[in-house]
Structure 1
Amino acid sequence: MEHDSPATEPWQLSAVELAAAIRNRTLSSADIVQSCLDRIDAVNPRVNALADLRPEDALDQARAADRRTASGAELGPLHGIPVSTKINTDQRGYATSHGVVALAGTPAAHDAACVTALRDAGAVLVGRSNAPAFSYRWFSTNDLHGRTLNPWAADRTPGGSSGGASASLAAGMTPIAQGNDIGGSIRYPAACCGVVGIRPTVGRVSNWAEPVYVDTPGGRQQLVMPPTVLNCAVEGPLARTVADARLALRVMTTPDLRDPVGVPALPDRPAPDALPRVSVVRNIGTVANHRAVEKAVDEAVEKLTDAGHQVEELDGLPLLAEAARLWSLLIYEDFRSTMPTVEVIGDADIRTSLTYSFAAAAGQWGDSPTLAEYIHGWSRRGALVAELQQLLGRDRLLLTPVSAEPPFEQDADIASPERAAQLVTAMWPMAAVPILGFPAATVPSALVDGLPMSVQLIGGRFEEEMVLDAAQAVEDRTPRLIPVL
């Protein structure tokens, strides 16, 4: 590893710095994109984070951006800045492959709304980030694109499902990456690779994409999104710095009434008069934290206290425990409808992972949860959302671990049913948040045994700025550590 040092190449600069350089005419977008492409050539063969690379397409976008700069036209916030998109997100002309061989041959005709937002802001789309098949794992390997490695340690997961995004950022391939999150898929990879991830409030960033149709024995039918995808999944950014994550989130904030849960306009959120209190929830009574996890929390507590926050320790929080348990009911019951497709076109790893994950969920809910239990689960979700919002208001944040364990060993979820169940238990901080739909960010706070360790900050609904302000306080007091590649 190496400590922060003055940047000598464009790929080493943050998106905020690059945007300023483009406006000042000290760097062109073509210079920046070429620098990132050179970095990709140098390190991507070792970590396999980006796939479907088309350098000339990226350079064409950059040259068009430079022509716009020269014309004196208004420039978007990400004008000329390289950004990667995820293989499960529609980008016109590129297959939305989900890492599945059978889905690799059909390019998307349109951009998803979040990709449109990035284009409209002037971003140059450089590469597609790898993910597990169907984005169902906390690991990033598939039969189509292979395995993504963690730049810090090849035997540890880079996270999933946005593991290609997080690994590419840590390795310096782009300053910003698009991801999505229904069970930690932005926050966990960011933590595993020592970068920043922000999961926004449900409805803030449009989740809209063109409908997907499939051929069935009864004819061609639209693929129906299950309730958890509509109500718990979000699009959002990963970045190397909090400032870049904030910039990308503002760009991706796209009120869109095509999205069934999209909000027509964001509520006015003036800055509160005082720094929010921070309540620390270290565990929910189900699993003990690894010492490295405790170190990360301790470091974050010290840094937030130094920044002026009032920090208090809570002895658990039952609503988070219940939300994490509900995740194992609602998510997996919804996933059952996709299992026939997974069995036909999914790779062996995803089939094994889901088999073990269903077994872990059965340990909490039985082999066949009833419709009444499922409906009651959704009812309890609503009650917990209200309870957590009342607790947080506009003057409190929660600080939690990211997981009870450091980044998992590669393929831990398919090592055995017992190990898979341990992972589900350890990941309660990642599972609780999507069920409730609140904003949360992960930010590095320590380096332990050669691995970056992060914490999670959770805020009230639509309080992303407050969450990011606290993440910035942690980042400001944490030396930036970069993996050597």
Structure 2
Amino acid sequence: MGPMTAPRFAPDPSAADDGAAVPPALAPRAGAAEIAAAVRRGDVTAVAVVDAHLDRIAQRNGDLGALTVVFAERAREAASLVDAAVAAGSDPGPLAGVPISVKENIDLTWSATTNGWRGMAEAIPARDATIVRRLREAGAVPVARGNMPDFGMRWDTDNDVFGRTRNPWNPQRSAGGSSGGDAVSVATGMSAIGLGNDFGGSLRLPAYAAGVTGLRPSRGRVPRAAVTGYPVALTLQEFSVNGPMARSVDDIALALSLMQGRDADDPVSVDAPVVRDLPRRVGVVREVGTAVAPQVATGIERAAASLASAGWDVVDVEAPRLEEAAVLWRRLSCTDMLVSLDPAALGMPLGRSATAFLRDSTAAARPYDTAREYAEAWAQRAVVAADWRRLQADVPLILGPVSASRMREPDYDLGGQDAADDAWRDLWLTVAANFLGLPTLALPAGLGDDGMPAGVQLIGPLFAEDALFEAGRAIEAGVPPLPAPPAG
């Protein structure tokens, strides 16, 4: 994992109350590893850590709409068990007392797994998802659920059950989707780690919008939902992964080390091999299907300069078959969505915004009409993947934008086929990683002149997360640290 370093954030003036000294582990920008170390040493109690986060939730969540259900009493009870273990001389785990948020589509027995849809408002799971169980066994404490759009189907976060999640930097900009609630929670100190998932940028786009770090792990590295008798769309099996968001690369690496590994309930999950001895070379992608906004380009230049200063060989490259990958991802995804999200099969309609998104996106994407077309599209993935593998044998890491544009206004992904096309075209490089199952790390690259975080992503070869973390730490060390988001 590499040496632990301090999170790259500017000091937060809200960390002190009326001039009183606040233990670092209780400060709004304290990292997960920092919190856990302080709890394990007995410098601060897990209950105090949870209370500090609950206080921030009370202060911020009403305006931001990031968290849907808050587990105040249950979180305190769980934290007290961590404190009891410390008092008894036991090790409560590497995430001792660390508050986490859990997206509305990841099973946590403390509340319904709604998927952001009213049809599942009573769907309380019988057991925790494997990744939730593993983090809880490591001492983490769930404090809340993170908001999302219906079934994670949009690049913004809003639904008819819980309402909209607002961007803490500027409410006139989208918070991204679909893991928008957890990204905003992490950015504002309401949780230290957010658990989300990424089917088409759903971790990385909100991380970019909120100014946090998000990892889309390699396909299979982190278990997903347990597979039962209910059929799951092929695109969900192939494109979607669970992953963490946090405020530093080190915290992401720590979370991944605890979440990863084979799970008997998920046949896609594996014990990933260790990838070593990759060339320290990064290819910068500047052409992504649409014009890259100047402030996005500035963030890429900052990240590239940081890597070069840290001894990486930085070269310009073109992403192989990028448009083809993005088109195939979109058409396959929309073909499956029309089937799996059919109101007749669900038993009731999707929410208003999700219905509009599905209508506009599928109309623009031209879903496949025949089994032959669908099969040929999947077969073509191997052709695209082969070209990427050849490139990454020589240039293992790809650096580029999460989105070609700055974050747009709320509901920017609605409004007809042209809006759907624009939202998708911004994300060609992002959805290509989903199409190919590749690990991708999104992280901040300073603050733009518009007061919004800049951000980049690094795409690695399969199971090369450690290389992403090494390069990510170099970027963190070289770009200006982000301040805390405005208090409203």
User: TM-score higher than 0.5 here?
Assistant: yes
- Tell me the distance in 2 between the aligned counterparts of 1:395 and 1:425: 25
Aligned to 1:266: 272
> Are the equivalent residues in 1 in contact too, given 2:71–2:142 (CA < 8 A)?
no
- Tell me the distance in 2 between the aligned counterparts of 1:469 and 1:461: 16
* Matching of residue 254 in structure 1 with residue 255 in structure 2: no
> Are the equivalent residues in 2 in contact too, given 1:394–1:460 (CA < 8 A)?
no
Give the one of 129, 133, 140 matched to 1:116. 133
- Tell me the distance in 2 between the aligned counterparts of 1:484 and 1:371: 51
Aligned to 1:292: 295
Aligned to 1:227: 234
Deviations 1:377-429 (A, max 9, x none): 11111232233223213862101111111112100111232112111111112
Partner SS state of residue 283, structure 1: coil
Aligned to 2:462: 461
- Tell me the distance in 1 between the aligned counterparts of 2:351 and 2:308: 47
After superposition, the Cα gap between the structure-2 partners of 1:403 and 1:12, relative to the gap in structure 1 and judged at 3 Å, is closer
Aligned to 2:144: 127
* Matching of residue 331 in structure 1 with residue 333 in structure 2: yes
> Are the equivalent residues in 2 in contact too, given 1:118–1:252 (CA < 8 A)?
yes
> Are the equivalent residues in 1 in contact too, given 2:99–2:191 (CA < 8 A)?
yes
- Tell me the distance in 2 between the aligned counterparts of 1:345 and 1:443: 36
Aligned to 2:452: 451
Give the one of 277, 283, 302 matched to 2:281. 277
After superposition, the Cα gap between the structure-2 partners of 1:343 and 1:208, relative to the gap in structure 1 and judged at 3 Å, is closer
> Are the equivalent residues in 2 in contact too, given 1:440–1:456 (CA < 8 A)?
yes
> Are the equivalent residues in 2 in contact too, given 1:93–1:109 (CA < 8 A)?
no
Give the deviation of 1:17 after TM superposition.
0.8
Q: Which amino acid aligns with 1:329?
A: R
TM-score by length of 1: 0.92
Aligned to 2:5: none
* Matching of residue 474 in structure 1 with residue 487 in structure 2: no
Aligned to 2:308: 305
After superposition, the Cα gap between the structure-2 partners of 1:368 and 1:5, relative to the gap in structure 1 and judged at 3 Å, is closer
> Are the equivalent residues in 2 in contact too, given 1:332–1:358 (CA < 8 A)?
yes
> Are the equivalent residues in 1 in contact too, given 2:227–2:266 (CA < 8 A)?
no
Aligned to 1:350: 354
Give the deviation of 1:69 after TM superposition.
1.3
- Tell me the distance in 1 between the aligned counterparts of 2:278 and 2:392: 15
After superposition, the Cα gap between the structure-2 partners of 1:343 and 1:159, relative to the gap in structure 1 and judged at 3 Å, is farther
1:354-373 aligned at under 5 Å gives the runs 354-362=358-366, 368-373=368-373
Partner SS state of residue 165, structure 1: helix
Aligned to 1:42: 59
Gaps of 5+ in 1: 212-221
Q: Which amino acid aligns with 1:436?
A: L
After superposition, the Cα gap between the structure-2 partners of 1:36 and 1:93, relative to the gap in structure 1 and judged at 3 Å, is closer
Q: Which amino acid aligns with 1:438?
A: L
Aligned to 1:219: none
Aligned to 1:379: 379
- Tell me the distance in 1 between the aligned counterparts of 2:473 and 2:11: 16
- Tell me the distance in 2 between the aligned counterparts of 1:5 and 1:171: 11
Question: Between Structure 1 and Structure 2, how many residues are aligned?
Answer: 465
Identity between Structure 1 and Structure 2 (%) = 37
Give the one of 10, 13, 27 matched to 2:44. 27
> Are the equivalent residues in 2 in contact too, given 1:111–1:209 (CA < 8 A)?
no
> Are the equivalent residues in 2 in contact too, given 1:85–1:178 (CA < 8 A)?
yes
- Tell me the distance in 2 between the aligned counterparts of 1:116 and 1:206: 11
- Tell me the distance in 1 between the aligned counterparts of 2:178 and 2:198: 8
Give the deviation of 1:5 after TM superposition.
4.4
Aligned to 1:203: 220
> Are the equivalent residues in 2 in contact too, given 1:88–1:134 (CA < 8 A)?
yes
Give the deviation of 1:371 after TM superposition.
1.9
> Are the equivalent residues in 2 in contact too, given 1:360–1:424 (CA < 8 A)?
no
- Tell me the distance in 2 between the aligned counterparts of 1:228 and 1:403: 22
Q: Which amino acid aligns with 1:424?
A: W
After superposition, the Cα gap between the structure-2 partners of 1:149 and 1:121, relative to the gap in structure 1 and judged at 3 Å, is same
- Tell me the distance in 2 between the aligned counterparts of 1:14 and 1:157: 25
> Are the equivalent residues in 1 in contact too, given 2:40–2:91 (CA < 8 A)?
no
Q: Which amino acid aligns with 1:457?
A: L
> Are the equivalent residues in 1 in contact too, given 2:447–2:482 (CA < 8 A)?
no
Deviations 1:277-319 (A, max 9, x none): 01011124x31111121111111111111111111112x3233
Give the deviation of 1:338 after TM superposition.
2.0
Q: Which amino acid aligns with 1:361?
A: A
- Tell me the distance in 2 between the aligned counterparts of 1:178 and 1:394: 33
- Tell me the distance in 2 between the aligned counterparts of 1:132 and 1:103: 13
TM-score by length of 2: 0.92
Greater Cα shift, 384-393 or 436-445: 384-393
After superposition, the Cα gap between the structure-2 partners of 1:343 and 1:108, relative to the gap in structure 1 and judged at 3 Å, is closer
- Tell me the distance in 1 between the aligned counterparts of 2:274 and 2:160: 46
Greater Cα shift, 343-352 or 465-474: 343-352
Aligned to 1:321: 323
* Matching of residue 60 in structure 1 with residue 67 in structure 2: no
Q: Which amino acid aligns with 1:326?
A: L
Deviations 1:184-215 (A, max 9, x none): 0111100110000001001110113263xxxx
- Tell me the distance in 2 between the aligned counterparts of 1:434 and 1:37: 34
Greater Cα shift, 92-101 or 367-376: 367-376
- Tell me the distance in 2 between the aligned counterparts of 1:477 and 1:23: 31
After superposition, the Cα gap between the structure-2 partners of 1:356 and 1:393, relative to the gap in structure 1 and judged at 3 Å, is same
- Tell me the distance in 1 between the aligned counterparts of 2:341 and 2:435: 21
